[in-house]
Chain A
Amino acid sequence: MSTAIAEVPVESRMHYLNASYGIKSWLFTTDHKRIALLYLGSITLMFFIGGAAAVMMRLHLIEPAGALVQPETYNKLFTMHGVIMVFFFLVPSIPATLGNFLVPMMIGARDLAFPRLNLLSWYVYITGGAITLYALISGGVDTGWTFYAPLSTHYVTTHVIATSLGVFINGFSSILTGLNFIVTIHKMRAPGMTWKRMPLFLWSMYATSVIFVLATPVIAIAMVLIGAERLLHVGIFDPAIGGDPVLFQHLFWFYSHPVVYIMILPGMGVVSELVTCFAKKKPFGYIFIAYSSLAIAMISFFVWGHHMFVSSQSVYAGFIFSALSFAVAIPSAIKVFNWTATLYKGSISYQAPMLYALGFIGLFTMGGLTGLFLASLATDVHLHDTYFVIAHFHYIMVGGAVMAYLGGIHFWWPKITGRLYHDGWARLAALVIFVGFNLTFFPQYMLGYLGMPRRYAVYPAEFQVLNVLSSAGASILGMGYLIPFVYLLWSIRYGPVAGSNPWGAKGLEWETPSPPPTDNFEETPRITEEPYGYAEPEHAHV
């Protein structure tokens, strides 16, 4: 498995983990790699909190009349699940952990452009998270993660202001991260690293960062306006003074549609790296994959109205948003075709990261195709606010983004920790997750098609079988997520020492020891070749 000769044992070599000790060396670090680990710990915590809410929801839904909680509590559960999973898990997941760790390494730099801003962005994330968790503990919010006016501004009695404040503050964490990546990628590439020699992960990080900086301020102002209207009991969304609640929806979705691409683009970047490494082949259509990331980022801003087809938005605006929503599927499809073509006649091996990548390609494609039913005005009228929508976005977010995140964590784990995990357990976990995931969410497509509405604490008895199947799947999925927790942590102490390049992958990050030294490289690299320099397969002509 290891292609590099093991260097000086980990314990006696200086690297970023042992360069300094003590809690202050972590809490005041400006090393992008340590900050990535700070984020890893905090977003894992948030994942389990958001997951706990989901477990309770699925337990509740095994009976048509509700099995666990009062309807008011159920409303709070799905709200907190959405808020925490979207803002505090998925949005930062790959960018703040793998992105922070890898962006400087992949471009051959010693750190990001603004290391202190990087640390600040983690503290801002923690502050936003703490405020939101305070809201959770002191009674929760029940408006849905979408905070629609006038429900959130005038009618509910729950902690809207605290939650919207937490989300607002957290937005700055995203903005600072995105800003850092953009400046780093533009200004700090190593000599010889042209844009077209960058790994595809960097292209997707760049595209994600563009969305971060342009979209996040809009949710910020939307949250400010919601909070202000709630405090003053009057505001610009208030129909009593001529305001339009749909204006809130425009501002909200102007951010929240691009945010779903923030959540998937990094995963696509990871998959590009995984597929090329485990097929031992350079990517088919590198430039198409690279440009499609930019195209997705751009077009994602033109389609937000497809969340508002039945909101009293004008039918003509609906036509335009619907047509543009079909357009945004094209660059995503280009990527899927290119990954598939990369696999063709590749020398494929099925270690855990590859299993996650393959799972991603299949599940993301299914989720993406079902998005077309929702993009189409006529069908969306029937599917809006049903479980079909929930199944669609969970296929993309969980079947896509979370699987890519896990695949990336597994792939770069040896680089980050200097240790190898047990691949047998990892493959088992990947399979359990895949099975559990499909059992959880495929029935939800059927539920939605049959008409079960989302965000309902009770449902007609005829839907019970599918709900029970979904809940059973959720328990399997939950166990699947716990398994990596065990063997990954175990590997830190007891796993075999990894060399600098255990996978035989191409990329600057694999040419430095595992774990890397604090300044990443002994000397600034000079790039003279194209990326993904895998040997040509014998019989390939793609």
Chain B
Amino acid sequence: MSESAAGSSLAGTSGRSVSPALHHQFEDIEQQREAGNFGMWVFLATEMLFFSGVFTGYIIYRSLYYSGFAAGSHVLEVDLGAAMTAVLLASSFTMAMAVHAARQGNRAMLLGFLSSTIILGIAFLGMKFTEYFHKWHEQLVPGLNFHPAVDALRGAPEHTVELFMCFYFFMTGLHALHMIIGIGLLGVMAILAWRGKISAEHYNRVEVSGLYWHFVDIIWIYLFPLLYLIGGRYK
């Protein structure tokens, strides 16, 4: 059924030096990198399915209670939302540049762009929590503090606006949680980079962190129009 490859050793064919970064289960560093990338893509597919549940619910209830969803959407602060979008897009840019720097083996550039991404991520979260605080102040938090002003309802039944706010908090809350995890991940990458553990040959960890970060950005790319811009802002 099988024959052992003559003369081959566990760590690679003779004559080729073994990278210290190579994990023992892989044959070469390229296989390791491919496996890492593929693994992260599979994980991102699981994240897509994780968010699918709330997106499904959102689509159903928006169709059933459009006026309530539009009213709830108008309560949200578009300028903050747009700013958050811009900040996240910028953080995706700096993240892509960080991966680029890692691939070049440029430690200074890598650290610079990783830090920028982290700072932009923290800025996003700062704006997000400011928004949440405003909502608390306006008494628009379902379950805990929901007493909307009459004109905030814009004629829609109050319970449908409350349902929208449930989605607002669940969806942006889940997203914010993923951002926090992402910032933590990038922090670990920054520490590794600082210690010189990221090289042009072994930069896959930064690469897969980037994939995760971009995915979280894509979720927000959809959340912004779906939550903040229902029915337009012209009235």
Contact = CB atoms under 8 A, between A and B. Distances in A.
Given A213-B42, A524-B4, A243 B163 contact: yes
B2 A108 contact: yes
B4 A523 contact: yes
A180 B57 CA distance: 30
A115 interface: yes
A523 B8 contact: yes
Interface string A165-201: 0000000000100011011001110111000000000
A526 B5 contact: yes
Contacts of A247: 56-57, 60
B108 interface: no
Interface string A499-542: 00000001110010000000101111111110101000000000
Contacts of B144: 232
A175 B2 contact: no
Interface in B10-42: 10, 23-27, 31, 34-35, 38-39, 42
A313 to B, nearest CB: 13
Contact of B1 (A225, A234, A240, A508): A508
Given A222-B53, A236-B166, A242 B65 contact: yes
- A-B residue pairs, 8 tightest by C-beta: A232-B143, A221-B53, A217-B50, A111-B25, A217-B49, A523-B4, A241-B159, A234-B143
Contacts of B31: 187-188
Contacts of B65: 242
B10 A221 contact: no
A242 B159 contact: yes
A100 interface: no
Contacts of B68: 242
Nearest to A109: B25
Interface of A: 104, 108-115, 175, 179-180, 182-183, 186-188, 190-192, 213-218, 220-222, 224-225, 228, 231-236, 240-244, 247, 250-251, 506-508, 511, 519, 521-529, 531, 533
B54 interface: yes
Given A217-B46, A251-B56, A522-B4, A188 B35 contact: yes
Given A213-B45, A217-B46, A228-B170, 19 more contacts: A175-B46, A183-B35, A188-B35, A191-B5, A214-B45, A217-B50, A221-B50, A232-B143, A234-B146, A234-B162, A236-B61, A236-B166, A244-B60, A507-B1, A519-B10, A524-B10, A525-B4, A528-B3, A531-B1
B116 to A, nearest CB: 29
A251 B170 CA distance: 16
Interface residues of B, number: 50
Nearest to B55: A221
Nearest to A209: B42
Interface in B52-78: 52-54, 56-57, 60-61, 64-65, 68
A526 B42 CA distance: 28
B51 interface: yes
B225 interface: no
Nearest to B10: A519
Contacts of A115: 23, 25
Given A519-B10, A522-B4, A526-B3, A183 B25 contact: no
Contact of B24 (A111, A233, A236): A111
A113 B25 contact: yes
A242 B2 contact: no
B232 to A, nearest CB: 23
Contacts of A104: 25
A108 B65 CA distance: 56
A225 B42 CA distance: 24
B60 to A, nearest CB: 7
B35 A187 contact: yes
A486 to B, nearest CB: 35
A113 B35 contact: yes
Nearest to B144: A232
Contacts of A114: 35, 39
B148 interface: no
Contacts of A240: 159
A251 B58 CA distance: 13
A187 B170 contact: no
B136 interface: no
Interface in B151-166: 157, 159-160, 162-163, 166
B160 to A, nearest CB: 5
Contacts of B45: 213-214
A511 B1 CA distance: 9
A242 B65 CA distance: 8
Contact of B10 (A218, A523, A526, A527): A523
B133 interface: no
B216 to A, nearest CB: 15
Given A232-B144, A241-B162, A508 B2 contact: yes
B205 to A, nearest CB: 12
Contacts of B26: 188
Nearest to A117: B39
A346 B41 CA distance: 44
16 contacts: A114-B39, A187-B38, A221-B50, A231-B143, A234-B142, A236-B167, A240-B159, A241-B159, A241-B163, A242-B64, A242-B65, A243-B61, A244-B60, A508-B2, A525-B2, A533-B1
Nearest to A221: B53
Nearest to B54: A221
